[in-house]
Amino acid sequence: MFTQSEENYIKAIYHLAAISEKGISTNAIAKKLDTKASSVTDMIKKLSDKEVVIYKKYQGVTLTDFGKKTAANIVRKHRLWEVFLVEKLNFSWDEVHDVAEQLEHIKSQKLIDELDALLDFPTHDPHGDPIPDKEGNLQTIEKSLLSVLTKGEIGILVGVNDSSSEFLRFLDKQGIALGQQITIIEKEPFDDSLSIKINDKKLSISNKIANNLYIKKQ
C-alpha cells in the first residue's frame, strides 16, 4: 500500500517519463508537483526502498517494472473516474480533473473493475488520453499536432495537449470538441496561425492553440 503523497509522486514520474527518454531529475519532479527539491529527495528514498523507483546520481529517477504498473493503475483509476463523471454525472470535461485527483486514491480493485464494466470498458478519457488496462498496457493511436498540418489537409480531433480548465473552456466557447473533423483552409506564413473549418463553421486559431490540439490525419 502507498500513501496518497507517494501515489502522487509515482504518477508524476510516470507522466514525466512519457515525454523523456532519460531519467527524471529531482528538479523536474519538484516543478511538476510544485514542491521543494529536498522533499523530492526524501520521497525518492522512500520509493526506492519500496522498489518502485531506481535513482542514479547524474542519471535521474526511473520507474521499476513494479513502479510502472503501479503508476499505470493510478492513471487508470483517474481516467476511468473522469469518464464516469462526464458520462454518468454530467460533469463537463473541464471540471473532472480535480475530482478525479481525489477519487484515484481509492484502493478497492473490485470497485474499479466494476466501474470499468459499467462504462463498457472505455479506452480513452474525455480528453482523449488512453486508459491503461489492468496490466498497464495502453491502446495508443497515431496522432499529430494540428499545427503540423498544411493547407487542404484534414484530421479528426482526438485529444488535447493542454488539459487545463481554462483551455478546455476556451474550446467549449469556440465549439471545438473531440471527434470533430477539421479541415485546414489556410496557414499564415507569418505566424503559422490557421484558418480552419469544423462542421462547416470557419474559425481562425493561433499557432499556440494548434500546438495544443491532437488530430488523427484523414
Tens of pLDDT, residue by residue over 28-68, are 999 999 999 999 999 999 999 999 999 988 889 999 999 99
Q: Which residues contact residue 158 at a Cβ distance below 8 angstroms, ignoring those fewer than 6 apart?
A: 128, 141, 143, 178, 179, 214, 215, 216
Residue 1's pLDDT is 85
Picking from 175, 172, 11, the residue whose alpha carbon sits closest to that of residue 93 is: 172
Instruction: List beta partners, residue 205.
Output: 194
Q: Which residues contact residue 120 at a Cβ distance below 8 angstroms, ignoring those fewer than 6 apart?
A: none
The SS3 of residue 167 is helix
The residues of the chain scoring below 70 in pLDDT are none
End-to-end CA distance of the chain: 45
Instruction: Please give the C-alpha separations between residue 147 and each of 29, 51, 67, 143, 184, in angstroms, as whole numbers.
Output: 28, 41, 34, 12, 10
Say how far apart CA 142 and CA 159 lie, in whole Å.
11
Work out whether the CA dihedral 28, 34, 37, 39 comes out positive or negative: negative
Residue 6's pLDDT is 96
Work out whether the CA dihedral 161, 163, 168, 170 comes out positive or negative: negative
Residue 141's pLDDT is 82
Does an H or E element contain 186, and which? strand 181-187
Say how far apart CA 132 and CA 95 lie, in whole Å.
22
Count Cβ atoms below 10 Å from residue 14 Cβ, excluding itself.
20
80: left (phi over 0), alpha (psi -120 to 50) or beta: alpha
Number of residues that make up the chain: 218
Give pTM, 2 decimals: 0.90
9: left (phi over 0), alpha (psi -120 to 50) or beta: alpha
